A and B are shown apart, each in its own frame.
Chain A
Amino acid sequence: MGIRITKPFQPLTPENLKKVHAYLGVYHLAEPDGTIYYIGFAGGRTLFGLNSELQREMQARAGKPAMFRYEVNMQYLSRHEELMMLHVADHGELPERNRRELKHKLGRLTPA
């Protein structure tokens, strides 16, 4: 299994979110040019899982266009850590919002 999310981004719109169910999992948010600006997860305390988390993210953008992709995953915490480590391995640092929110030491990953 590949460790990166390879599915394409899609616009963060109400129409597209109708197809996202209330599962737990992880997601990427990106600017329209594909630059990832946040790596998030929908955990066990969320009201409607990925759907409510992405709805909240869309509202926070206040009409500013964004892209998203997600992965349904019950191991959302370790997968979220892995995605953040992968981002650092690929881009040198975390997205600014993740840097701000991170409260623990992030691991080092050197994918083969």
Chain B
Amino acid sequence: MDYQLSDEQRIIIDTVRKFVREEILPLEDKLDPDAGDLEPEDKARLVAKVQDMGFYGLGIPPEFGGPDLDTTTQTLIAMELTQHRAGLYNPAYGVFGGAGLAQLFEATDAQKEKYLYPTLRGEKSTFFGLTEPSGGSDPARAIQTKAVRDGDDWVLNGSKIFISGADRADFGLLFARTDTDKGRGGVTCFIVDVPSPGFYVRRVVHTLRSTRYATEIQIENLRVPHKNILGEVNKGFAIANDRLTRQRIPYAAGCVGVAIKAQEMAIEYCKIRNTFGGPLASRQSIQWMIVDNELDIRTARYLCLDAAQKADRGEEFRTEAAMAKLVGSEAGGRVVDRAMQIFGGYGMTKDFPFERWYREMRIRRIGEGPSEVQRLVIARDIIGGAFH
């Protein structure tokens, strides 16, 4: 694998890095330490700037107006966009745009007109309704929300949990069981307009992350037209699974970005902080933390780029994406933890970003498939012979 960046990638990375340091960090200093949004006028100004740079709409295929960037370059960008306090869950506060629900690229023309294009223009917001109280790691079996055909409609009943954005969305994707005997082959994906009668956001689910909360949804006799099925009846699991696999690379890259920033801050601090007559950097215990951080960062970065390059070559990358997600989220947590240790008491305060990263990084070992599921995926592929 060739990790030498091309000249074009180098220029892109330098540009994005400069943007984050010169545009995002100064604004962030004035925001609440847990803030998830910029002031609207600042956001509009920066979105216009990113559009001028030609980088707006990362993850959107060129045929839909996005920049023509391969997965490797997008992975490298993700590692830069997250290098600020809110970066893990709000990279650059969203001013680089995004693909939203990428599943809609496979929608019918009518669905694209009604849902995809307004989303890409930033006119509609969305949610992804997969996880249920019965479980999220094994959605194919855990989904209990049922959809029953009734004339030209389907009638949905059930509940969802840990759904971000459902309370503010204009529409979303809801996965429901349409055949109780078929396991993963009995799940269908519905595009649901909200608010709609029968769709209720019952509560905010408070987590370690104070901004961008999740919600719990109750669905009672919600009628969805048959034409709002995304893909085919009973083939919704493939849609969900595709997202889960693709999402793992940028998800891991975000962890690496935060880890890089935490390491940068720890190195800077250990050189200027004196204890017992010398800088922290002269203490072996601190040096070893810095070394262990570097090993974690480089291992995770290697795995992210390996997965991205396989994806770019059109090869199967499920195992590599799982490895990147597993190592990226766990290594990122260790790096932030060591950086906090080096910062001592200051590392615990809201004066620095570590406490927010520490809380949010913990979620990363669960979100988008917990570490145990990643190991399960990897083991299946290695033992089953699908790997290499």
A111 lies within 8 A of chain B by Cβ:
yes
Q: Check B202–A75 contact: CB distance below 8 A.
A: no
B168 contacts across to A, CB distance below 8 A: 105-108
Give chain B interface residues in 21-56, CB to chain A under 8 Å. Answer: 32-37, 39-40
Tell me if B213 is interfacial: C-beta within 8 Å of chain A: yes
**CB atoms of A75 and B206 under 8 A apart:** yes
Question: If A78-B204, A81-B204 touch, does A108 touch B210 (CB 8 Å cutoff)?
Answer: no
- Least CB distance from A58 to B in Å reads 22
Interface of chain B residues 119 through 165 with chain A (CB within 8 A)? 125
* Given A77-B211, A81-B204: A108 touches B37 (CB 8 Å cut-off): no
Interface string of A80-112 (1 = CB under 8 A from B): 011001000000000000000001111111111
Measured CB to CB, the closest approach of chain B to A107, in angstroms, equals 3
- Decide: A43 and B37 in contact? CB cutoff 8 A: no
Contact B34 A44 (CB under 8 A): yes
Does A7 have its Cβ within 8 Å of any Cβ on chain B?
no
Interface residue? B221 (CB, 8 A)? no
Residue from A78, A103, A108, A110 in contact with B206 in the complex, judged by beta carbons closer than 8 Å: A78
State whether the Cβ of A74 lies closer than 8 Å to any Cβ in chain B: yes
Render B271-289 as a binary contact track against A, CB cut-off 8 A, 1 for contact: 0000000000000000000
With A77-B210, A77-B211, A105-B168 known as contacts, the answer to whether A45 contacts B200 (CB < 8 A) is no
- B203 interface contact, C-beta 8 A: yes
Of the residues A78, A104, A105, A111, contact of B213 by C-beta under 8 Å:
A78
A79 contacts B40, C-beta separation under 8 Å:
no
| Interface residues of chain B: helix, strand, loop or mixed (majority) | loop
Cβ-based interface call for A68 (8 A):
no
Given A85-B167, A105-B168: A77 touches B203 (CB 8 Å cut-off): no
Contact B34 A77 (CB under 8 A): yes
The docked-state distance in angstroms from the alpha carbon of A45 to that of B168 is 27
Q: Does A62 reach chain B (CB closer than 8 Å)? A: no
Q: How far is the CA of A78 from the CA of B32 in the complex (A)?
A: 13
Q: Which residues of A contact B380 (CB under 8 A)?
A: none
Cα distance A104–B203 when bound, in Å? Answer: 19
Given A77-B211, A112-B218, A103:B202 Cβ within 8 A: no
Give the residue name and chain of the A residue nearest to B30 (CB). Answer: A45
In the complex, A60 has a CB within 8 A of chain B = no
Minimal beta-carbon separation of B38 from chain A (angstroms): 10
For B351, the closest partner residue in chain A by CB is A44
Question: Is B65 interfacial (CB 8 A cutoff)?
Answer: no
Within the complex, the shortest CB–CB distance from A15 to chain B, in Å, comes to 30
* B36 partner residues in chain A, CB cutoff 8 A: 77
Contact, CB under 8 Å: B202 / A110 = yes
* 8 Å CB interface, B230-276 against A: none
**A-side contacts of B18, CB under 8 Å:** none
Look across to chain B and name the residue whose beta carbon is closest to the beta carbon of A108: B167
- Interface: A70 (CB within 8 A): no
Q: Tell me if B201 is interfacial: C-beta within 8 Å of chain A.
A: yes
| B350 contacts partner chain A, Cβ-Cβ < 8 Å | yes
Establish whether residues B32 and A3, one from each chain, have CB atoms under 8 Å apart when the complex forms. Answer: no
Chain B positions within 8 Å of A43 at CB level: 32-34
Residues in B neighbouring A27, C-beta threshold 8 A: none
Besides A45-B33, A103-B39, A110-B200, 19 other CB < 8 A contacts? Answer: A43-B32, A76-B34, A78-B204, A78-B209, A78-B210, A78-B213, A79-B204, A82-B203, A82-B204, A82-B213, A85-B204, A107-B167, A107-B215, A108-B167, A108-B194, A108-B195, A109-B167, A109-B203, A112-B202
Question: 5 closest Cβ contacts across the A-B interface?
Answer: A107-B167, A44-B33, A78-B213, A44-B350, A43-B32
Residues of B within 8 A of A (CB): 32-37, 39-40, 125, 167-168, 194-195, 200-204, 206-207, 209-211, 213, 215, 218, 350
11 A–B contacts from the bound complex (CB under 8 Å): A43-B34, A74-B210, A75-B207, A77-B35, A81-B213, A82-B213, A103-B40, A105-B125, A109-B167, A109-B202, A111-B203
